[in-house]
Amino acid sequence: MAGRYDEPMGRGDQADLPPELEALARRLDHDGMLWRRELPDERRIARGVAAQIAPADIRAQPPQATGRGYGDTWDAGAGGGWEPPRDQAGGPRGGGGRGRWGLAVGAALAIVVLMAGALWSLGVGRRGPDISGGPTATVPTATSIVQPSGAWKTMGTLRTSQQTVFAPSDPRVAYQVALPTPGSDALMLARTDDAGAHYHILPYPSGLLMDAHLIEVGALVSPRDPRTVYLYAARQGAGCSGTCFDQWLSTDGGATWRALSLPVPGVLGVIEAGSGSTLYALVAQSLVGSGAPPPANRMVASTDGGRSWRLADGDLAAHGLGVSDFAASPTGTSVYIISEPANIASQPPSFVPQYQLWRRDDGGASWTLVGDVPGNVSSGLRLAGQTLYLFAPQRGQSLAASLPQASTDGGRHWSAAPTAGLASDAQLPDGLGAPTATLGDGSLLLVLRSGLDRDVYAWQPGATAWRQVAPPLTAVHVDAIFSTESTGGQTTLWAVYDGSTPDALTVASYPLG
């Protein structure tokens, strides 16, 4: 059950960028996150404003109006806003510890809380849910958050001045690739098997021309085999109309390469494991051609470990539809697609495409239309066994408004995940998106921010609350979360995250009990 990268920037914006600029955009995203660490606390500012403009009767509300659900009541501070109770050292009082100070929302949030008082009154856990402004907030149930025992084990730290791609089936294995530096004609291509402790410098494919026309290189690792890796190169000029892609495959960890042939132009994007030995992948064609609108993405499948690929979306393409996202699962019997109009790239900006959900069952010769995608979102599908998840937060939405939805009947009916079990100050990391993965029991894993911590939660339909499945990570940004299962049935969580050092990624693991 592999996780996959979630771009820290808006998916829509990212999709607008040509591949050769994506690495720079990610670097800017990272630096922006570092820069934002020093910004003033928005809750404190809101409290200051509310203290000036809130009607007197609201300001005079008794403290318990905001206190229920936190285990503490709040006191009216000297400045007129609500202050959390403090201990003798001046710190926030109470046994909650982590994230407690983040609860000091003050009068501004108190107004929101007043309007949603009925919801709040039911939350009695140590840290209740954040329902700030979400119209689809669900009623939290009484629950307490149990901190998992143990600790994450740091496996290593990788320098990331170049693209780093982790093997979902063993994230200690990673490939690093970078364009030649000025004054050098050497492509940087390396593999580590021990999370950065040692590197193996790899040969690059003989067909890869090192010249000024090479604009981008990248890699992708099979979700099943850490030694099956794909390398692509994008070139412009020198006979290419627009951008040309070449792609190679190695099944021995990058020691040898052979050219990869795909049934349509483009490069393999996301790869997911399906049932049996089947692999599914998206073929991105975003820069093929010159001037003309790029063709839509296609889906391909492989049954020989990723050595050869065939089209797997045939009848959809015939109906003028491209593939915006897909989901497959090793333990599921279906494959799902979110379709989009194949000519979407040539539409004016005001065009609103209709995204639809399609299903194909094993053995079926064609795709079945399930219906419109909830929220008309273009991505965010995950499949865990027979349970389909949709998680596509939009920028500016609160966490409560963007919680994952789940379907256990093939996408016909959806139910939103609860807020119960989440930290009271839980929010989407950096405002948009969150790393996700799935567990063998059909649960969805979700990483959320809570103060300086990053918490890993799991939930599946039927459960009334999320459960925190691992100790918090202290990280600037969690890039990816993976879960692996040993032959003995032991499930291990893996996190790849940015610590305090730029251009470095830490790999850590945590055994699930």
| Positive or negative: CA dihedral 398, 18, 159, 34 | negative
- Nearest distance, CB of residue 137 and another protein, angstroms: 12
Q: Which two tokens stand for residue 120?
A: 């709040």
Our finding on whether 208 is near another protein (CB under 8 A) is no
Our finding on whether 429 is near another protein (CB under 8 A) is no
Our finding on whether 347 is near another protein (CB under 8 A) is no
Identify each DSSP E strand in 332-452 by its residue range. 334-341, 356-361, 368-372, 381-384, 387-390, 405-407, 415-416, 436-438, 444-450
- Nearest distance, CB of residue 3 and another protein, angstroms: 23
User: Which residue in the set 144, 206, 415, 501 belongs to the binding site for another protein (CB under 8 A)?
Assistant: 501
Our finding on whether 124 is near another protein (CB under 8 A) is no
Report how far apart, in Å, the C-alpha atoms of 412 and of each of 373, 374, 408 are.
10, 10, 8
In the numeric block, the tokens 């959390």 are attached to: 84
**Terminal C-alpha separation, the chain:** 17
Q: How far apart are CA 165 and CA 219, in angstroms?
A: 7
**437-496 positions binding another protein, by CB under 8 A:** none
Which residue, 49 or 209, is less far from another protein as judged by CB? Answer: 49
Our finding on whether 409 is near another protein (CB under 8 A) is no
Q: How far apart are CA 466 and CA 456, in angstroms?
A: 10
In contact, 440 and 466? CB cutoff 8 Å: no
- Nearest distance, CB of residue 397 and another protein, angstroms: 7
Which residue, 329 or 402, is less far from another protein as judged by CB? Answer: 402
- Nearest distance, CB of residue 270 and another protein, angstroms: 22
Residue 26, SS3 per DSSP: helix
Q: Which two tokens stand for residue 136?
A: 């689809």
- Nearest distance, CB of residue 230 and another protein, angstroms: 24
Q: How far apart are CA 375 and CA 352, in angstroms?
A: 12
Q: How far apart are CA 511 and CA 513, in angstroms?
A: 6
Report how far apart, in Å, the C-alpha atoms of 158 and of each of 75, 155, 496, 499 are.
46, 10, 10, 11
How many other CB atoms are there within 10 angstroms of residue 90's CB atom?
7
Residue 31, SS3 per DSSP: helix
- Nearest distance, CB of residue 45 and another protein, angstroms: 5
- Nearest distance, CB of residue 167 and another protein, angstroms: 25
Our finding on whether 132 is near another protein (CB under 8 A) is yes
Our finding on whether 105 is near another protein (CB under 8 A) is yes
**259-298 positions binding another protein, by CB under 8 A:** none
| CA angle 270–276–279, rounded 5-degree value | 20
In contact, 210 and 231? CB cutoff 8 Å: no
Our finding on whether 66 is near another protein (CB under 8 A) is no
Our finding on whether 80 is near another protein (CB under 8 A) is yes
What mask, x for binding another protein by CB under 8 A, covers residues 166 to 205?
A: ----------------x-----------------------
Which residue, 48 or 314, is less far from another protein as judged by CB? Answer: 48
| Positive or negative: CA dihedral 273, 276, 278, 280 | negative
State the number of binding residues for another protein (CB under 8 A): 66
Which residue, 357 or 478, is less far from another protein as judged by CB? Answer: 478
Our finding on whether 162 is near another protein (CB under 8 A) is no
Our finding on whether 500 is near another protein (CB under 8 A) is yes
User: Which residue in the set 117, 203, 371, 396 belongs to the binding site for another protein (CB under 8 A)?
Assistant: 396
Which residue, 327 or 400, is less far from another protein as judged by CB? Answer: 400
- Nearest distance, CB of residue 228 and another protein, angstroms: 31
Our finding on whether 504 is near another protein (CB under 8 A) is yes
In the numeric block, the tokens 């009082």 are attached to: 93
Which residue, 148 or 499, is less far from another protein as judged by CB? Answer: 499
**5-64 positions binding another protein, by CB under 8 A:** 9-10, 12-13, 16-18, 20-21, 24-25, 27-29, 31-32, 34-36, 38-46, 48-58
In contact, 216 and 190? CB cutoff 8 Å: no
User: Which residue in the set 143, 228, 427, 509 belongs to the binding site for another protein (CB under 8 A)?
Assistant: 427
Q: How far apart are CA 512 and CA 330, in angstroms?
A: 20
- Residues at the interface with another protein (CB under 8 A): 9-10, 12-13, 16-18, 20-21, 24-25, 27-29, 31-32, 34-36, 38-46, 48-58, 79-80, 105, 108-109, 111-112, 114-115, 132-133, 161, 182, 349, 395-398, 427, 430-432, 500-504
